[in-house]
Amino acid sequence: MSNSFIEKFDVIVVGAGPAGTTAALDLAQGGLSVILLERGEEPGQKNMFGGILHYSETLNKLIPDFWKEAPIERYITRYITTLLTSNSSVSFSFNDDEFGHPPYNGFTLLRGKFDRWYAKKAQEAGAFLVPETTVDDLVWDKKNMIIGVKTEREEGILYADLVIVADGANSLLAKKATLRNCFKPADFSVAAKEILTLPREIIEERFDLIDNEGLAHLFVGESTQGIEGGGFLYTNKASLSIGVVAKLRALQESKVSIADLLEGFKTQRCVSQVIKEATLKEYSGHLIPEGGINLVPQLYGDGILLAGDAAGFLLSTGLTIEGMNFAIESGFAAAETAKMAKAKGDFSQHGLRFYKKLLEESFVIKDLKTFRHAPKFFTIPSLYKEYPSIACGVAREIYRADRPTKKKILRILREEMKKRVSIWTLIKDFIKAGRALLWT
């Protein structure tokens, strides 16, 4: 790094993912000097996520009608959840034509394309993007105030009034700033994803899609060999995003690799048939914070803010997984806090306390609190073994043709449950499900 880089900025943002780029864009639009550091060769190269952006009012505020120019793949008009066993499956499908038009829908994205486009928008607004730069440490003054960062580059110390850390779920900078404790396997999941290319016309024929319609398909049960987690498949314009997510603790205990889970998932009949003839284009892995509100660390300190995955902002409700819109919203809140701190000339922990207030007023903290019991509920082993078997067993009894007489569904359900779970286990799991997803 040349001497021209050794200067003081208003804000240093570490990580050019959705959280970091949002912060840089908003700060640049507000006239602050901001440098955006990215360890990859370009934004999006080191990032991975399932593939869905739920509609973001904040993104639309920063870039009005962003979907008209952003590299959106497809509008999700159909959601499917499938319960899998080794030889059967039961699916629940929802389709709505209104979801083909903003703001009702989510979008499928390819992070490589989207992150490059988004970072370019930040650059056009005045942010200074520096890729291929790893931040090794923070810089403190004699009063223990964070005043910059150390990079791996020669003469790579950068100074700023504020550092916004958006460097991912396993953020070492957050740990160095003593804002979060050591990582626990129980609080994280591991994801593996492949991008499989397939001609657009074949995708639309196989998944019954028209124009820019898209599909989001989640799988539970044998998709992860009964391990806590699930599989997913999303349609892009001319490719499929397919992957699995599994609890890090459960993987360690089972001694099964995430790569093996993905290969096994791809051999499932309901998956293998729709990905046949597809060509592997990209493989990636990612650590996901799934501890919910209980995993959210101290969000700010003297001269520092945490945003996105570094702050533990991700929500899984079982039917949807939301992280990108949480990242964008937290990046925006971080930038707005920085602008207020700049106006007051106070970047101390006290001066940055408004950050928490902004997040509490937004959907970020509200939703995490609403679903505060969900992370614990999704660690119940029977969700991934017994209950998919029960669902498939009920369906099998309903549709099989070799029975001389038919049984009512409730009786079939009772018989299937008796084979696999006790009444007390069922009651306890129902109460946990209610607290996690059904009532406050």
pLDDT at 4 over 90: no
- What's the mean per-residue pLDDT of the chain? 92
* Ordered structural domains, the chain, with CATH: 3-73+109-183+295-372 (3.50.50.60), 186-289 (3.30.9.90), 385-438 (no CATH)
Which residues does residue 269 pair with via DSSP β-bridges, in sequence order? none
Supply φ then ψ for residue 420, to 5 degrees. -125, -30
Q: How far is CA 328 from CA 102, 123, 409, in A?
A: 17, 17, 45
Helix ranges restricted to H, 235-348 = 248-254, 258-267, 269-275, 324-344
The least confident of 90-94, 147-151, 173-177, 430-434 is: 430-434
pLDDT digits (tens, 9 = 90+) for 300-326: 999 999 999 999 999 988 778 889 999
Specify the DSSP class assigned to residue 86: S
Q: How confident is the model at residue 1 (pLDDT cuts 50, 70, 90)?
A: very low
pLDDT digits (tens, 9 = 90+) for 93-103: 999 888 887 87
pTM: 0.94
Say which residue the tokens 């939301």 belong to: 322
CA distance 278 to 197: 5
pLDDT at 49 over 70: no
